[in-house]
């Protein structure tokens, strides 16, 4: 198996595998040597993945923990933070131990917004009822994986679309890095302009946190260009130290207090304490059937359909891209033991819903750890243990601002762009769907939306090119389901 993006940036192949008697039990269980890695590299890369994902423990509470539901219940920021870390820790460890892949799992962005804004905000569900629908979504996802349907869909996707999904995710995570760091910002609607975004503040890098990001981008880029082992991990450490110094000197503060010139989420500073006992009171507060009696079976079922489709393809697209980046896929672009991985990943929605943290899914940010050398589930277990520790030691990970970790996302996006050469751009019926998949993901801020637009276009343009017979029937089925998915608002209006 090739390793296309190892931490030194070079291409290596594990030419030989040590005999069983020469390797440790840990090595044999995770196939560490077989995949061209080492225990030290897996541990280090697992730490990198954690710091690339840790923002979710800060961000998820802001999405789920502040709004009041129809019963007057507020989940609470400390409670959601603890539940988010717990779910991420459990699922990362489970996925690493069972599936043996370095794909971190945590509450999915987009999915948590769907729960908060649509299920609770618009449909009037209680938090317990909304989380109940997430659990139902997870049960369906697991059953689809056990039946082999998820694997069949994965295999029905043509190679060009798999490559496009990988490139699109690379652009998506790069945009996440740019936006989180304030390098790209939304222009306020009051500007009355057709241009939605801008560079920095009024076209300038006018904040210290964004300056730290830019400097960190050069530092991390230097590490990769010079093929320094563990370069991305070292880069995050250096960037964090710089951020601590910058905050101590400038007092930039939080963006919540000081506007766009402040730090986006965590303000880098040494903690006064090391945390305490987490509040897990919302874990298990789930009502499985309440939504169906509250808003009706048809409406609740349509909401579950939306959750399933978004969850299904977010995870599958991300796993496709991460597997290719890590060089773990075979000549058909498939992961070994893919069915097992898809089943375990499906449990993320069940565990996330039961924990009141929203559906947990595979994280594109795992690409940071993969770029730093992660190749096995051992890295995932390290990430999971750090998430569990984060429940007790919140100030420790708050030291690292998102601006210090965001450069890694941009670097990884550049590495994932390499897959663009696997697309046949000379065939327009392949080029256009691939292009739309790639650009729609960052522009819509959704992996599932990008996949859906690409699938529909691929099916239609195959007909236009006289190649309809080359399209797998599952591609037609999924394209039709995505048409329903994109028309969900008028359908919901019609049945309500």
pLDDT in tens, 351-410: 999 999 999 999 988 988 998 899 999 999 999 999 999 888 765 556 778 898 889 888
- The model's pLDDT over 305-360, given as tens digits with 9 standing for 90+, comes to 888 888 888 787 888 889 988 999 887 778 888 899 999 999 999 999 999 999 99
With residue 394 as reference, give the H or E element that holds it: helix 394-398
The label of the residue with tokens 């977010």 reads 314
What local confidence, expressed as pLDDT, does residue 8 receive? 41
Instruction: Give the 3-state DSSP-derived string for 422-471, with helices as H, strands as E and coil as C.
Output: HCCCCCHHHHHHHHHHHHHHHHHCCHHHHHHHHHHHHHHHHHHCCCHHHC
pTM: 0.77
Alpha-carbon distance of 129 to 290, in angstroms, equals 5
Task: Evaluate whether 372 touches 232 at the Cβ level (below 8 Å).
Answer: yes
Task: Evaluate whether 419 touches 166 at the Cβ level (below 8 Å).
Answer: yes
Alpha-carbon distance of 279 to 62, in angstroms, equals 16
Bridge partners (DSSP) listed for residue 16? none
Give backbone dihedrals phi and psi of 163, rounded to 5 degrees, phi first: -65, -40
Mean pLDDT, to the nearest integer, of 282-290?
Answer: 95
Task: Evaluate whether 30 touches 95 at the Cβ level (below 8 Å).
Answer: no
Cα-to-chain-centroid distance, residue 12: 27
Q: Say yes or no to pLDDT of 5 above 80.
A: no
184-186 vs 12-13, strand pairing mode: unpaired
Q: Mean of the per-residue pLDDT values for the chain?
A: 87
What local confidence, expressed as pLDDT, does residue 117 receive? 81
What would the two tokens of residue 261 be?
């010139």
Bridge partners (DSSP) listed for residue 361? 106
What local confidence, expressed as pLDDT, does residue 396 receive? 57
Alpha-carbon distance of 78 to 453, in angstroms, equals 38
Task: Evaluate whether 47 touches 366 at the Cβ level (below 8 Å).
Answer: no
What would the two tokens of residue 301 be?
């079922």
With residue 378 as reference, give the H or E element that holds it: helix 377-390
- The model's pLDDT over 196-247, given as tens digits with 9 standing for 90+, comes to 889 999 889 989 999 999 999 999 999 888 878 778 778 888 998 999 999 9
Angle at alpha carbon of residue 190, lines to 188 and 194, rounded to 5° = 75
What local confidence, expressed as pLDDT, does residue 7 receive? 43
Greatest distance between any 2 Cα atoms in the chain = 69
Residues constituting the chain:
496
The DSSP-derived string for 272-317 is SS-------TTTT---SSHHHHHH-HHHHHHHHHHHHHHHHHHHHH
Mean pLDDT, to the nearest integer, of 142-163?
Answer: 90
Task: Evaluate whether 443 touches 83 at the Cβ level (below 8 Å).
Answer: no
- The closest of 215, 287, 218, 272 to 246, measured between CA atoms, is 215
DSSP character at residue 418 = G
Q: Output the CA–CA distances (angstroms, integers) from residue 273 to 15, 200, 267, 395, 458, in the order listed.
A: 48, 34, 15, 7, 55
- The model's pLDDT over 430-457, given as tens digits with 9 standing for 90+, comes to 999 999 999 999 998 888 889 999 999 9
Cα-to-chain-centroid distance, residue 200: 24
- The model's pLDDT over 168-199, given as tens digits with 9 standing for 90+, comes to 888 988 898 899 899 999 887 766 677 888 99
Number of CB atoms found within 10 A of residue 39's CB: 15
């Amino acid at each position: 198996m090739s390793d296309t993006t190892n931490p030194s940036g070079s291409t290596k192949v594990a030419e030989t595998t040590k005999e069983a008697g020469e390797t440790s039990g840990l090595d044999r269980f995770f196939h560490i040597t077989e995949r061209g890695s080492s225990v030290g590299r897996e541990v280090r890369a697992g730490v990198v993945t954690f710091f690339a994902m840790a923002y979710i423990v800060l961000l998820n509470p802001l999405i789920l923990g502040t709004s009041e539901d129809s019963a007057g219940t507020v989940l609470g920021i400390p409670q959601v933070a603890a539940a988010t870390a717990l779910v991420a820790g459990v699922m990362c460890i489970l996925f690493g131990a069972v599936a043996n892949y370095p794909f971190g799992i945590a509450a999915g962005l987009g999915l948590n917004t769907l729960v908060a804004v649509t299920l609770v905000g618009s449909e009037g569900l209680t938090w317990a009822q909304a989380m109940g629908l997430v659990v139902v979504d997870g049960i369906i996802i697991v059953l689809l994986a056990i039946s082999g349907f998820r694997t069949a869909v994965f295999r029905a996707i043509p190679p060009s679309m798999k490559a496009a999904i990988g490139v699109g995710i690379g652009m998506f995570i790069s945009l996440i890095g740019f936006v989180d760091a304030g390098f790209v910002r939304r222009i306020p609607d009051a500007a009355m302009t057709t241009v939605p975004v801008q560079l920095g503040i009024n076209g300038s890098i006018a904040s210290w946190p964004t300056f730290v990001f830019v400097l960190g981008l050069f530092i991390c880029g230097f590490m990769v260009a010079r093929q320094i082992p563990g370069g991305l991990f070292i880069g995050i450490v250096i960037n964090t130290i710089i951020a601590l110094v910058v905050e101590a000197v400038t007092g930039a503060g939080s963006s919540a207090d000081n506007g766009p010139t402040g730090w986006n989420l965590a303000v880098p500073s040494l903690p006064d304490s090391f945390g305490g006992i987490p509040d897990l009171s919302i874990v298990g507060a789930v009502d499985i059937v309440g939504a169906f009696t509250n808003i009706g079976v048809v409406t609740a079922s349509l909401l579950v359909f939306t959750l399933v489709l978004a969850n299904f393809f977010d995870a599958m697209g991300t796993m496709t891209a991460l597997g290719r980046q890590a060089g773990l896929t075979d000549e058909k672009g498939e992961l070994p033991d893919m069915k097992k991985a898809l089943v375990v990943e499906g449990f993320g929605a069940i565990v996330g819903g039961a924990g009141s943290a929203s559906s947990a899914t595979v994280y594109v940010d795992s690409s940071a750890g993969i770029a730093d050398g992660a190749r096995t589930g051992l890295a995932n277990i390290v990430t999971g243990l750090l998430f569990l520790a984060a429940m007790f030691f919140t100030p420790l990970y708050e030291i690292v601002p998102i601006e210090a970790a965001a450069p890694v996302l941009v670097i990884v996006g550049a590495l994932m762009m390499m897959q663009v050469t696997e697309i046949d751009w000379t065939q327009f019926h392949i080029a256009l769907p691939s292009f739309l998949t790639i650009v729609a993901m960052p522009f819509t801020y959704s992996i599932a939306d990008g996949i859906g637009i690409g699938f529909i276009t691929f099916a239609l343009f195959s007909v236009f090119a006289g190649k309809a017979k080359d399209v797998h029937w599952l591609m037609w089925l999924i394209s039709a389901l995505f048409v329903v998915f994109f028309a969900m608002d008028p359908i919901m209006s019609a049945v309500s």
